[in-house]
Structure 1
Amino acid sequence: MKKIGILTINDYNNYGNRLQNYAAQEVLKSLGYHVETVINNTDFNKKNNKSTISNNKIQKIKKITPQKILKKVALLLRNNYFYNKRLETFRNQRIKVFKEFTSSYIIETDISITESNIPNEIVDRYDYFVTGSDQVWNPNYRKGSPIDFLTFAPKNKRIAFAPSFGVSEIPKEYHQNYKKWLTEMHGLSVREEAGAKIIKNLTGRNATVLIDPTLMLTKEKWLSISKLPLNKPKGKYLLTYFLGDISRERKKYIKEIAENNDLQIVNLLQIKEKFAYMAGPDELIDYISTASILCTDSFHGAVFSILLETPFIIYDRENQSSTHSMNSRIDTLLSTFRLESRLAKNIKNNKEIFEVDFSHVQAILDEERRKTYGYLKAVLNI
């Protein structure tokens, strides 16, 4: 049996990452391949060289008078220490849950790869390498890593399966490498229209815009691996899933929705709600499937709402510049499925919050799935 090695983001703390990894694996398996995910251990945090204290906190420290500075800094450091220790404990527990999901559903390699250490045997081990579908080409996260463009492999083995740039523009310092690496891809596809535009401008090539692999699996397939969350509300609930900050105004509006419709609020990704924070990817599926409404700024939050036919509201990501905007992939998603009405700015009253017409979605899904399989069969020479 021929083999494919997936190169993606190995993030054991992110729902969308784990679920897209599983979905990509299942789609490629359905084409008759043995599929493994190659572990990429490149230290991107080191490359990012991020400070442990935020700019906002630094600005606050600068405003403190000399007489109070020692006391204020000591208190800040003390609070940060205990908060970070608590955060570390919860994150470690959450990572454990995500790794358990991974070991149950995703085949990972017994070897790993880094920019400075490419195993000699890896090229001959696989017939093809697939990069995607997560934000592997996002320069802010990955700093233009050549591994994400499969440069270690022969050109005829390099295939992109709906990867995302995650931004609308690529900084100029990455243009030369991105142009070279994208030009050398055997199979070139992306997840959003903005990504196709970036590729066209850099290389002149037309990249196929595909749906995210998570949309390739049926509702029934996803429900078959779902898991009942601990402490899940017995009654109706409003689910929030925000990757960015949540403004006071936004919190107030969400609270009003819940109170007006007698809904309990469940906040994923907020540590103060320990059980919801600890929910694994399989539990996320159940949470979204049975929610009365999902409020989110997450691409995959929108994806699973569409797949599971759950009413949802999409918000712009807080505190992001136009250059670093994450909205392009969500815009493409909503446009593809004609669900622009689910943008928060387009919802005017309580009735519109819950009334969503999904009747046309299946026909679009069928066509997009045919398009994706057509692309994969062509680049894999099936």
Structure 2
Amino acid sequence: MKIGILSLPMWNNYGGILQAYALQSVLKDLGHETEFINRHHPKPSFISEKKNKFKRFLKQNLISKENTVFYPDYRQKNYISTNTLEFIKREIKPITAVLVENDHMKSIGENYDAIIVGSDQVWRPRYVPDIYNYFLDFASEDVIKISFAASFGTDKWEYSPEETKVCRRLLQNFNRVSVREDSAVALVKEKFNVKAEHTLDPTMLLDKSRYLDLVRKYEKERPSKGDLFTYILDSNLDNDTIVGKVSSRLNLKPFEVMPKPFDKDFNHEVQEYIFPQLTKWLKAFNDAEFVIADSFHGCVFSIIFNKPFIAIGNKERGLARFKSLLKMFQLEDRLILSPAELNEDLIDSKINWTTVNGILENKKKVSFSFLQEALTEKEK
């Protein structure tokens, strides 16, 4: 069977890239032919780029404050994503050309026997180029339509009434629906009147050994620069305090695998802005004795690699993902929202990896069964 996979646009998000890699790998292992549908936002026009540059100039020189966040433009994003885009080119294949228009999507709507949308926050309207594409509005009627571990990212409803209406109609044409969070099961039923099943993020379907094979393929055997791996997307004083407390208590050296934060001083001569190799990030989990992460996939890979960890929740990014994942593995106590919730008992507490790994194996069986049954449903 030829299967198209549709997920978020891939740039430099380690977890997002690896979930796409994992789902494609799993489908190939099951004997299917796959192709990743490389949907992206349209490249900004010349006039749009000029306007954005002018806004950035004003921001940098007239209204900038110390905590101002700067975002790269299209060309700068390409530059800082040099390593991750190379990984995508080498490991996520076959992959379509970059598709930026709805007409492009419609042109491939009949190319597949089945299309799977997922995983990651593919059903969060502000994260995708066109939310209707992610409910497969472009697919022909006879294509098997499946969502696998699709995520809203939050348990708050972010759709407009019109988006809700259209997506409800589109989703009711799916053959099978699975979501990544338990809260999403209820949302899909309430808002779309569709039954959804709860499955694992695709990254958890591959064994740790598969990721270590990737590391050996790309990384020289150089140890990481510490033993307390911190994967923190939102750097602030509270998170620094948490890292300091854990480091002091366990006598571990913090290290990270992140580029220099994008700022007003960016220029193309400074390689520190380029995201490190994805496999260096993977290796960090294997090398670490302890992990601190405010990222969903940071928690996922801590579990895969059986590393004790603390998850820092961020309400604005959405807590539903963290709560659902940690509840599934009986690890709810690992989630904190502030330094005040961190104590020595939590830092010292041991995770029962026998229990966690047993749950993981059972959930894998459920997720694999969902995929296999969904892809053969029309044959019954």
Q: How does 1:79-90 map to 2 (within 5 A)?
A: none
User: Which residue pairs with 1:107 in the alignment?
Assistant: 93
- Alignment partners' CA distance in 1, 2:281 and 2:374: 33
Q: How many residues align?
A: 354
Q: Identify which of 289, 295, 319 aligns with 1:327.
A: 319
Q: Is the 8 A contact 1:194 1:328 kept in 2?
A: yes
How far 1:105 sits from its partner (Å)? 1.2
Q: Is the 8 A contact 2:292 2:310 kept in 1?
A: yes
How far 1:96 sits from its partner (Å)? 1.1
Q: Identify which of 255, 269, 274 aligns with 2:244.
A: 255
Which is worse superposed, 250-259 or 185-194? 250-259
How far 1:123 sits from its partner (Å)? 3.1
How far 1:215 sits from its partner (Å)? 0.2
How far 1:256 sits from its partner (Å)? 2.9
Q: Secondary structure at the match of 2:4?
A: strand
User: Which residue pairs with 2:27 in the alignment?
Assistant: 28
Q: Secondary structure at the match of 1:198?
A: helix
Alpha carbons of structure 1 residues 360 and 139: separation in structure 2 relative to 1, 3 Å: same
Alpha carbons of structure 1 residues 146 and 108: separation in structure 2 relative to 1, 3 Å: farther
Residue 163 (structure 2) pairs with residue 171 (structure 1) = no
Residue 295 (structure 2) pairs with residue 303 (structure 1) = no
What is the letter of the counterpart of residue 239 of structure 2? Answer: R
How far 1:40 sits from its partner (Å)? 0.8
| Superposition TM-score, scaled by structure 2 size | 0.81
How far 1:233 sits from its partner (Å)? 4.0
Q: Identify which of 319, 337, 340 aligns with 2:332.
A: 340
How far 1:44 sits from its partner (Å)? 9.3
How far 1:141 sits from its partner (Å)? 1.5
Residue 115 (structure 2) pairs with residue 118 (structure 1) = no
How far 1:219 sits from its partner (Å)? 1.0
Q: Secondary structure at the match of 1:19?
A: helix
What is the letter of the counterpart of residue 187 of structure 1? Answer: R
Q: Deviations over 1:317-367 (max 9, x none)?
A: 16x1xxxx5211211111111111211366521663463221112221221
What is the letter of the counterpart of residue 145 of structure 1? Answer: I
Residue 358 (structure 2) pairs with residue 363 (structure 1) = yes
Alpha carbons of structure 1 residues 190 and 338: separation in structure 2 relative to 1, 3 Å: same
Say what the alpha-carbon RMSD is for the aligned residues. 3.5
What is the letter of the counterpart of residue 26 of structure 1? Answer: S
User: Which residue pairs with 1:280 in the alignment?
Assistant: 277
- Alignment partners' CA distance in 2, 1:6 and 1:36: 6
- Alignment partners' CA distance in 2, 1:137 and 1:106: 22
User: Which residue pairs with 1:69 in the alignment?
Assistant: none
Q: Secondary structure at the match of 1:313?
A: strand
What is the letter of the counterpart of residue 368 of structure 2? Answer: Y
Residue 175 (structure 2) pairs with residue 186 (structure 1) = yes
Q: Is the 8 A contact 2:148 2:177 kept in 1?
A: yes
Return 5+ residue gaps in structure 1 as ranges. 62-72
User: Which residue pairs with 2:213 in the alignment?
Assistant: 224
- Alignment partners' CA distance in 1, 2:71 and 2:334: 36
- Alignment partners' CA distance in 2, 1:370 and 1:78: 51
- Alignment partners' CA distance in 1, 2:355 and 2:67: 50
Q: Is the 8 A contact 1:297 1:317 kept in 2?
A: yes
Alpha carbons of structure 1 residues 154 and 89: separation in structure 2 relative to 1, 3 Å: closer
Alpha carbons of structure 1 residues 101 and 134: separation in structure 2 relative to 1, 3 Å: same
User: Which residue pairs with 1:160 in the alignment?
Assistant: 147
Q: Secondary structure at the match of 1:263?
A: coil
What is the letter of the counterpart of residue 18 of structure 2? Answer: L
Q: How does 1:69-84 map to 2 (within 5 A)?
A: 74=61, 76=63
Q: Is the 8 A contact 1:144 1:178 kept in 2?
A: no
- Alignment partners' CA distance in 2, 1:151 and 1:359: 43
Return 5+ residue gaps in structure 2 as ranges. 263-270
Q: Is the 8 A contact 1:44 1:141 kept in 2?
A: no
Which is worse superposed, 14-23 or 89-98? 89-98
How far 1:34 sits from its partner (Å)? 0.9
Residue 36 (structure 2) pairs with residue 37 (structure 1) = yes
Q: Is the 8 A contact 2:293 2:312 kept in 1?
A: yes
Q: Is the 8 A contact 2:223 2:287 kept in 1?
A: no
How far 1:120 sits from its partner (Å)? 6.2
Residue 118 (structure 2) pairs with residue 132 (structure 1) = yes
Q: Secondary structure at the match of 2:81?
A: helix
Q: Secondary structure at the match of 1:378?
A: helix
Which is worse superposed, 309-318 or 245-254? 245-254
